Structures are given as C-alpha cells and as structure tokens.
Structure 1
Amino acid sequence: MKQAPEADAAGLFSGGEYMAYTALYRKWRPDTFEAVKGQEHIVTTLKNQMKSGRIGHAYLFCGTRGTGKTTVAKIFARAVNCEHPVDGNPCNECPACRAILSGSSMNVVEIDAASNNGVDNIREIRDEVRYSPTEGKYRVYIIDEVHMLSTGAFNALLKTLEEPPSYVIFILATTEVHKIPITVLSRCQRYDFRRIGSETLFAHLKHLTEEEGIEAEDKALRYVARAADGSARDSLSLMEQCIAFHYGEKLTYEKVLDILGAVDTQVFSRLLRCILSRDVAGAIRLLDEVTVQGRELVQFVTDFTWYLRNLLLLQTTAEGEDALEMSEESLKALREEAEQVDIDSLIRYIRICSELIGQVRYAAAKRVLIEIALIKLMKPAMEQNLESLQARVSELEARLDGGETVQHSAARPGNTGVEPGKQEPASGVPLESVAEQPAGPVVELTEAEYEDYQQLIREWDQIVAGQGRLIGSLLHGTRPSFEAGKGFCIIFRDGFACEMMQIQERLEEFSKSVSERYGHKFTFQAVLYAQGQQEPSIVRGSRLPGIEMEIQEAES
C-alpha cells in the first residue's frame, strides 16, 4: 500500500501535490484549557467547576475579538461530555470528544446570532431542548455574537435561560456586552476575557515559528504581537500574511514593517524633532513621504503614540528601560530624544494622538485630520485647555531664558511728580499721539498708601526678579497701580499672562512675598488693560483711610 507523503508547513506534499491548507489560527487553536493563553482567571474557574461538578446552566463570555471566547466554549463543551476527563480537561480521545471535534455531534450546537437572530430561530432551540441527548451528558448551545439577537428573540430566550432542563448548557459569546439586556445578564455567569499581553503573544508566536520551521527575528515577532492589539487570532493572521509574502525567507523586522504598512522608528524621531522645532512644513513633508510609500495612516498614528509613550516611560520611571524590550542601540537613541522634551509636553502629545486614533480610523480624509493634529501639536494656542496653557507658559519661559524680551507699546504713567491726568510717553511713541489719548482716572491716596506705592514703583523690577520662574515670567512687563475700590493692582497688557496670574493661589503667593519683603500686609489684584487704555494717575491726597466724606465747619 502506497504511503501518503507528509505535508510541510506550507501545506504542500513532498511529491508536489497540494492538500487542503489550514489557516494558522485554526491549526493552532487550543484543544485544552492549559493551551489557552492569557485567560488563566477563566480557565481555572471552569476547571474547578468540572472537578467539583458545580456546572452552571448559562454562561456569558465577553471580550474583544480573538481573545478565546469561542475556543474556551468549545473546550468546555467537550469537557462536560468527555468520558474520561483529565484534571478538568477533555481527553480529546473518547468517542464523544472526537465527535465534537469533527463537528458531527448532535450534543453541541453552534449558532451565529448575526444571521440567526429572529424569534423563530430561538423558538427552534426552545423546542429542541425538550429532548435529552441520545449520547453524552449535556446538550450545549454556543450562541456567538449574541448581542445581534432581536428584542423578540431575547424575550423568547429568557424563560429557557431561567429554567432550562438539567442536561442543557447555554454559552453566550459577545464582543459588545453593553447591548445585552439586563434580564439576560442576570441569568448568566459572566466571564470577561482580557486582552492578551504582547509578551504572551510573542512567546506563542515564537513557539509557533519553531514548530513550523519558520525562521524569524525576535524583533519582527514582537512587532506582530504588538500590532495584534491583544488578539491571539489577529496575531496569527498577521503572521500568516507575513509568512506568505516572504515564503521561504527569513522574516525580518523590515519585512514585517513593509507588509503591515508600518514605518520605522527613525521616522518618528524625525517627526518629533519637527514638532519640537515648530517646523510645520517639515512635518507635513514627512507625512507626505509616509503617504507616498503607501503606509497605513492609522497604524502610523498608533505607532507614533507608542513611541511617545516609550519616551514618557524613560522619563518617569527608573524601570522604564526594562519595560521597553528593545536593543541597547535603540535605547540609546530613545534616551537622546527623551532629553529634548519635557513630561508635560509628552502627556499633551499623547492625549492629542490618542484622540486622533479614534477620529481617523473611520474618516474619509485621514491625511487632513492628521495634518491638523500635527499643527495642533506645534501650536498650543489652537487649544484652550489647561495643558495647552501650560505649554504656552513653558514656551514663554524658554524665550525669556534665551534672552528674548517682550516689547510693550503701552504708555508708562508718570507717577512721580507728574501732574494728575498726564502721562509720560512710552519709548518710541510720539508725544502727539499721547496727547490725543484720553487721560486716565485720578486716584488720591493717603500718605501711607502713597509711600507704599512709590516704593513699589521704585523696586518693582527687583520684586519681579525675586519671584519664582513661572510668576516672574508672567509679571514680566507689568506695572503696579492702584484703583479705587480694588486697592493695589498689577496692570497687564498680555491677556494670557493676566489670566494665568488671576489664579487665586498665585496672587496669594505673590502678595505674601511682597508682604514679607516690606513687613506689612499687601493684597494685589491682576487687571488687564486694553491697548491704548490709560492707567490711573496716582496723587498724594489728604483723605484718611476709610473716610470718604467732606468735613464741614459748623456755623457759630
């Protein structure tokens, strides 16, 4: 009798004949609880139920795609019907297990709720469960994507779920548990399947390639594991795609990037440098290069977000390098990048990119959305949230540290001996234009208030220089003043600086600093003056503090 030739990893007979090819995710589907990766909290519970005989009548398996819901359901269906279970696992050798594995068993019924979601389909199940299994212990119904059932179908299922025959088990699987009615949830044991960690997927891919005789770089396998986003089935599908394109060749990191439409980290380094230098044109040109190369834009944004996350890890934790799992050469380059950007900016970049991923996934004009986001990264003024305000303050501080000064065109008041209602002209402002401007209000101070005011005027630059970095930068270019009903004020011409200084904690901190300097209490308010608005003219008056009445001489 002629012996059948053995098949190789590609599904080819050594004699040149073809056999039916089995996809990797089907070929490597776990057949025991121990083979299920990343769901130990679930398989341990189900095994203990098998050992103790405390088997429920309705289970709800929920989680993202490719995390093992249907696989565990099939293993459990075999285990409850197995004639010789081993430590809670099916033996996969007895007639019952073999029949279920081949799909010929009448005891296990798989239903796709996406295409069988009507009331009539559920009524058929309700009629079938009246009859006990002819062989085996349990009749198991696995309903996949159960959230697709209609409202009527759910109502038809309720009674059977609540009081099923002792020999019936329902296993409901869904990726959208929020669509399941609460009346169904309350009748099931719920198990949440977690996303599988990239390290677990990497180990699984490593074992798979060794068994299949496929040569692959660890770096390539790690990228496939991360691109799968916690899905074991997706990792095997991506792996199969890469193997098919480069069949017979060693699978390298560069080849995986090319197949999956991804880009190398050097591109992200270039993009980050463009962002930090505010080079909008350079960032747009780089995005054009990525687009011309045919790279997947959603994957590009996702990978750039991970790149920023790696920079953040390096900056925030001493164990960050261990968590990155990359070569020393790549780590060195990443360290250099991390030194150029502060933590607050990284958090803001990651937030914007994370929001972009959700927006661009289903957008028609993906590139336009990405370009807007890149400009937003480089222009904090486009946003009005606190993170962006902090970014603008940091930018202002950097400019001041670099020796750059802010020029103000507002007139500076002549409060030291100038007649009330008149102002000294600012540098470069024609006297004629000052004369045309309306005079500011006249404020009379008591002797003590006037002395305090004159001292503030003389030493204002020294007071500002003695503040912390943030408050000092906000007070740059301001002047002290006094307004009726408000008291001592800080006059701002920059709306952003005024808004940041109006925060109560900052005003209190500054007031405390000035009070300690002069030995008595000062309280300040931050006031914004519009362009051309005249500051008050401060004069020495005769009024007593707190007395605002005229004193008339009594008639004799």
Structure 2
Amino acid sequence: MSYQALYRVWRPQRFDEIVGQQVITQTLKNALITGQTSHAYLFTGPRGTGKTSAAKIFAKAVNCHHLKDGEPCNECATCKAITQGRLNDVIEIDAASNNGVEEIRDIRDKAKYAPTEADYKVYIIDEVHMLSTGAFNALLKTLEEPPANVVFILATTEPQKIPLTIISRTQRFDFRRISTKDSYERMVYILNQKKITFDEKALMVIAKAAEGGMRDALSILDQTLSFGDNEITLKNALQVTGSVNHDLLNTYVAEVSKQQVSSALATLEKVLAEGKDANRFIEDLINFCRNLLLYQQDPALIVDQELGDVDEQFKTFATSISAEHIYQMIDHLNNTQQQMRFTTHPDVYMEVLTIKLAEPTLKKAVQAPVESAVNQKSSASITVDDTEITRLQTQVKKLTHQVQELENQGNEPVSKTVKHVNRTSGPKKNGRRVKPNLSKIYPVLENATKKNLVQLKEIWPDLMSMLSVTQRALMHVAQPVAASEKGAVIAFNYAFLYEQAADDGELRQLLSEDIDKLVGHDLKIAYVDAEQWPEIRQSYIQQHKDDLQTNESAPTNTSDLAPESEQSTNDGSQDQPDPVITKAEALFGSETVEIKND
C-alpha cells in the first residue's frame, strides 16, 4: 500500500516534535548531553501520548555520533536504520504477545552479547504490564545488573500492574494527556504542510474527541479527510466523531433548565435522527456542565481551554444556572451513562434522562419544605440561634463543673449537693423537677399502635432535617417511644433538655406542622424524660389492667347467675386472650412483650 496513515507519516523523529511532553523531553536531552543516561527507563501514561516514539528517538540519540543539543541527526546510517526498523541492536518487543518466561530468558541471554553495529543495544518492551509474574522475575536480575552496553526502555499504560521491584530499578517518566490546544496546533501544522484547507472549529471538535491522545487525534483527522474528500469542515468533523453541534447543546441545556420537557424531547429526537452517538452525546453534556462550573469559578481558564470559543449564550447559562442544579445534572448523566453500557436501546435511556433533567427531582421536592421553613425565618433568627448555642455551651460548662464538685465531695451525702444544682442542670436519678403531663401522655397510649410508632420513626430523620441548627441540637437526644393516629410521646435522654423542650411551645408547634407536611396530618406532641418513661408505661398498663378487671367483674357482682352459667362463662373465658396482654402487644409490639405467670 502506498498510502500511510497520518500518525505513521508524522510520527515524531526528534524530541522537539513530541507534543505536550516538554518536561520529559528536556530531561532526556540533558541526560544525553551530559552522558548521564540510565540503563533502564519506564515510560507510563495514556495511549497516544508519545511513549513509544520517545523510546525510539532515545534509541537513535544514544547511538548517534552526530548528536546536537541532545537531538539525533536523523541523517547518519545508524539513525536511518533505526527509523526504518532495520537495526538489529534496537529490539522492539510487544509484551502482550511475548509475555512468557521463555521469551524474557531469551532476552536475558542475548543481552550478554555486545551490539553488532551500534554502540548500545536498546530493548523497547511495549505494554510491559502484560508480562507474567515469572517473566518479571526473570527480568528482575538483568534490570538490576545489566551488561555495560544495554539499555532497557519499558512502556506501559497501566503502571499499577508492574511490581515495585521493577519500578525501583528504572527511571520513571509519566507522560500526561495532551491538551486540546497542543493537539489543535499540531493538526494545524500538519494540514498546513499538506496544504489542505480546514475549518478551525472542526479541528477543535477533533481535538476534544481525541481526549488527550495525539495518535487518536490524527486518526480522527485522517478519517475526516477521507469522509470529506480532503476537506475538513465542521459538519464532517461532527459526523465522524459523533459529537453534537454546539448550538444544539445550548438549545438542549436551555430547554431542560427551563423544564420544557416537550421541546427538550424534540431536540433529542433531532440529535439522534442525525445519527449522533448517544454515549458521545452524554460525554458532550458532561463536558458542557463541567465547563459551566469552571467558568463560574475562573472564566479565563475555560476561555483558554476552549481556544476562545465561548459564545454569549454559554456565558448567560453560567450566570443563570446554579451550581447545585449543575451537580444534579451531572449525577443524572453519570448514572445514565453507567446504565447504557449494556443496553441495545440507548434512545430509551436518553428519553428517560431528558425527562429527569427537565422535571423537578425528588431531592428538590423533599428539600422544598426545608427551604420554605428557612425562608419564613428572618435574619434575626440567626442571632437567636447563636444566642441559643452560647446558652447551651454555658450550661454544658456548668454541668461539667457540678460533676467535678460531686466527685470531690464523694464523702458527703448526695442530697446536699443536689440542692445547689441549677434547674437547667443535668438529670437527677432520684428527684425529678418537671412532672410529666399524664393528661397528654395517657390519651396517646390509649390509642397507640406499633404501626404508628414505626411510621413516625421512619420519618424521624427527615423531620430532624427540617429543624434549625439549635432545634436539631435539642432534639438530637430525643426519640419517639409511642404514637397513635393523633398524638406521639417523645422521650429525652437528658432531663435538662427535656425541661427546656417542655418550655418551648414554638418547637412543639413546629414539630406538629412538619409532621403534617410529611405524613398528611399533625400529631399532638407530649414530652417525657427517658428515665421516667418505663415507670409511666408500667403505671399505665397497671391502671389499664385494673380497669379491665373491674369491668369484667362488674356483671358477676351485679347479676345473679346460675352455677352452670357461671361455669360455662369461666370455661369460655379461658379461651379468650387476656385484654391486658393484647393492649401491651398493640402498644409496644408482640416481640417486645414477655409474659410471665405469677
């Protein structure tokens, strides 16, 4: 074949021709100039960034007798032979197909012999991470103590798979992805040399589609030339790469941002009808959102990366769309991209994605009550929150001081010390300052069910998120212990917080309103100290038991029944469940109720 691909024809033959790796090329040139070359190198980095090209240039430079500023002359017989692949002393090996122990042993044995034509034998092992464990072990000793005139250059895209014992015996150079600007300038140079007209925006599209690989960029450029009959246009570049026109991207993002579902679906249909790749479309959308975020932080950075191709509509988006909205869009795009990996119907996923992007998300719906509650509070509430926090910190300090006094006065009766404790101090195990409001608690227990309690516990985290910082700090040590259709009992682990909550009517009202938003109806809230709760619960059960026994014994005491009827009633009662047990199970759950016969 007379025609050669662009990436083969324009493969770099000098260090200065390697694009985007100035630090590495300058280091290698300085080592050649000073004669401080190593016996082993490791070139790592993404595909198409110049690893193998740099290895071949280094092989020429280390054997060239007309070296100038660290660059090979490319004119002597040795340089030409290496360029054409005819020099026996430069051996290039593909480790993917020669990854066994025997192949590496063969290299090790032949490395002992002196070079035949050049000054150095150079072994270039490409994709070295594909070697087996035994092959690495066979190579290890040779890398550690190689013959005098042998240089090993290892190239790989996955350095994490190479043993550390190998890496430590080489000089490592990490090749980075080539920037869009560098790829663009290299393609401009090549097309100018070939005297081919081109559209600058088309080259930008190709440079972005290459994703940092110069070889990929030249391959796409070659394909675009073939598609357009040696003419580079934006339309041809978009067709070859599967990318979406910038105007269509702007239109699509504008429509989903304004929640215009029908228009967005129509734009999507137009994109897919043009034969655009769905995965490529998602990549373009992610890149578009990424540029929006970066432009909001550093406009000059995006202008430089996009080579000045930033239109007014893009600038408008950057100022009108919030960062939170962009984060949610990127999340949806990433999730859909993962789901589309194994599907044969990407258009369905794209339609669902469009609806998700254009409609308010569930997250926004959940946050709406929170935002509404926050907006209702004036700026003065911030000062109130700060005051509350300061007061709580002061109380904690007082409590700490009182505990220390109790420890220091361990020989004194506890009751004497308790008399000096502030009302807002910590909990008392023997004395309780605030009596529970049984008139509110008992009606809740009378109709309480486990189902209602479980439902309240499920929404409890959401309920806490709807409170202010100070209120969350207060309710953090509280939890529901009983609930009915119309009320709930909340137990506090610390008595002083229970006392504070009992005096806070605003908090009780806010809890009822927030519960109404979450479950559709409000609950009357009753507070109780966690230490008091077992006693209150036992007292209610005992009182309920006495009432039941009274109600059951009443007919016997007031009616004159025959012995036979009395016997049959007693027998029948043995088959009926104990109403006290039934009520306890309804209140607290059958799995938590233990029945003991006296």
Question: TM-score, normalization: structure 1?
Answer: 0.68
Residues 332, 356 of structure 1: alpha-carbon distance in 2 compared, 3 angstrom cutoff: same
Match of 1:300 in 2: 281
SS in 2 for 1:141: strand
Match of 2:311 in 1: 331
Match of 1:404 in 2: none
AA aligned opposite 2:314: L
Match of 1:209 in 2: 191
SS in 2 for 1:127: helix
Counterpart of 2:202 (choices 220, 225, 233) is: 220
Residues 536, 129 of structure 1: alpha-carbon distance in 2 compared, 3 angstrom cutoff: closer
Residues 536, 322 of structure 1: alpha-carbon distance in 2 compared, 3 angstrom cutoff: closer
Counterpart of 1:58 (choices 40, 47, 54) is: 40
Shifted more, 361-370 versus 64-73: the winner is: 361-370
Residues 114, 203 of structure 1: alpha-carbon distance in 2 compared, 3 angstrom cutoff: same
SS in 1 for 2:524: coil
SS in 2 for 1:172: strand
Match of 2:420 in 1: none
Match of 2:330 in 1: 350
Residues 76, 361 of structure 1: alpha-carbon distance in 2 compared, 3 angstrom cutoff: farther
Contact 2:369-2:466 at 8 Å conserved across structures: no
Q: For 1:45 and 1:355, locate their aligned partners in 2 and report how far apart those are by CA, in whole Å.
A: 42
Q: Is the counterpart of residue 312 in structure 1 residue 277 in structure 2?
A: no
Match of 2:378 in 1: 466
Q: Which one has the bigger helix percentage?
A: 2
Counterpart of 1:288 (choices 269, 272, 278) is: 269
Shifted more, 461-470 versus 527-536: the winner is: 461-470
Match of 1:261 in 2: 242
The Cα shift of 1:123 comes to 1.2
Residues 187, 342 of structure 1: alpha-carbon distance in 2 compared, 3 angstrom cutoff: same
Q: For 1:483 and 1:497, locate their aligned partners in 2 and report how far apart those are by CA, in whole Å.
A: 30
Q: Is the counterpart of residue 33 in structure 1 residue 22 in structure 2?
A: no
Q: Is the counterpart of residue 341 in structure 1 residue 330 in structure 2?
A: no
The Cα shift of 1:288 comes to 3.4
Q: Is the counterpart of residue 110 in structure 1 residue 99 in structure 2?
A: no
The Cα shift of 1:44 comes to 1.0
Please list, as runs of the form range in 1=range in 2, the aligned pairs for 1:137-286 lying within 5 A after superposition: 137-249=119-231, 251-286=232-267
Query: How many residues are aligned here?
Result: 426
AA aligned opposite 2:253: L
The Cα shift of 1:57 comes to 1.1
Match of 2:418 in 1: none
Q: For 2:190 and 2:141, locate their aligned partners in 1 and report how far apart those are by CA, in whole Å.
A: 45
Residues 466, 114 of structure 1: alpha-carbon distance in 2 compared, 3 angstrom cutoff: same
The Cα shift of 1:464 comes to 4.0
Match of 1:534 in 2: 523
Q: For 1:470 and 1:258, locate their aligned partners in 2 and report how far apart those are by CA, in whole Å.
A: 56
Contact 1:224-1:256 at 8 Å conserved across structures: yes
For residues 347-370 of structure 1, what are the alpha-carbon distances to aligned partners after superposition, in whole Å with 9 as ceiling and x for unaligned? 332344345445545655544444
AA aligned opposite 1:498: L
Q: Is the counterpart of residue 120 in structure 1 residue 106 in structure 2?
A: no
SS in 1 for 2:311: helix
AA aligned opposite 1:258: Q
Q: Is the counterpart of residue 498 in structure 1 residue 463 in structure 2?
A: yes
Q: For 2:207 and 2:361, locate their aligned partners in 1 and report how far apart those are by CA, in whole Å.
A: 38
RMSD (Å) for aligned C-alpha atoms? 3.7
For residues 171-226 of structure 1, what are the alpha-carbon distances to aligned partners after superposition, in whole Å with 9 as ceiling and x for unaligned? 11111111111221121111100001100111111111111111001111111111
Q: For 2:375 and 2:244, locate their aligned partners in 1 and report how far apart those are by CA, in whole Å.
A: 52
Between the aligned residues of both structures, percent identity stands at 39
Q: For 1:365 and 1:317, locate their aligned partners in 2 and report how far apart those are by CA, in whole Å.
A: 38
Q: For 2:37 and 2:158, locate their aligned partners in 1 and report how far apart those are by CA, in whole Å.
A: 25
The Cα shift of 1:374 comes to 3.8
Q: For 2:321 and 2:348, locate their aligned partners in 1 and report how far apart those are by CA, in whole Å.
A: 26
Match of 1:97 in 2: 79
For residues 441-463 of structure 1, what are the alpha-carbon distances to aligned partners after superposition, in whole Å with 9 as ceiling and x for unaligned? xxxxxxxxxxxxxxxxxxxx999
Residues 368, 121 of structure 1: alpha-carbon distance in 2 compared, 3 angstrom cutoff: farther
AA aligned opposite 2:294: L
Match of 1:476 in 2: none
Identify unmatched segments of 5+ residues in structure 2.
Answer: 384-433, 438-455, 476-502, 528-598
Q: Is the counterpart of residue 86 in structure 1 residue 68 in structure 2?
A: yes
Residues 40, 533 of structure 1: alpha-carbon distance in 2 compared, 3 angstrom cutoff: same
The Cα shift of 1:287 comes to 3.0
Contact 2:205-2:243 at 8 Å conserved across structures: no
AA aligned opposite 1:337: F
Contact 1:57-1:170 at 8 Å conserved across structures: yes
Match of 1:377 in 2: 357
Please list, as runs of the form range in 1=range in 2, the aligned pairs for 1:374-413 lying within 5 A after superposition: 374-378=354-358, 381-382=361-362, 388=363, 393=367
Question: TM-score, normalization: structure 2?
Answer: 0.64
Identify unmatched segments of 5+ residues in structure 1.
Answer: 1-18, 383-387, 401-460, 472-481, 486-490, 511-520, 539-556
Contact 2:101-2:134 at 8 Å conserved across structures: yes
Q: Considering only CA atoms, is the larger Rg found in Structure 1 or Structure 2? A: 2
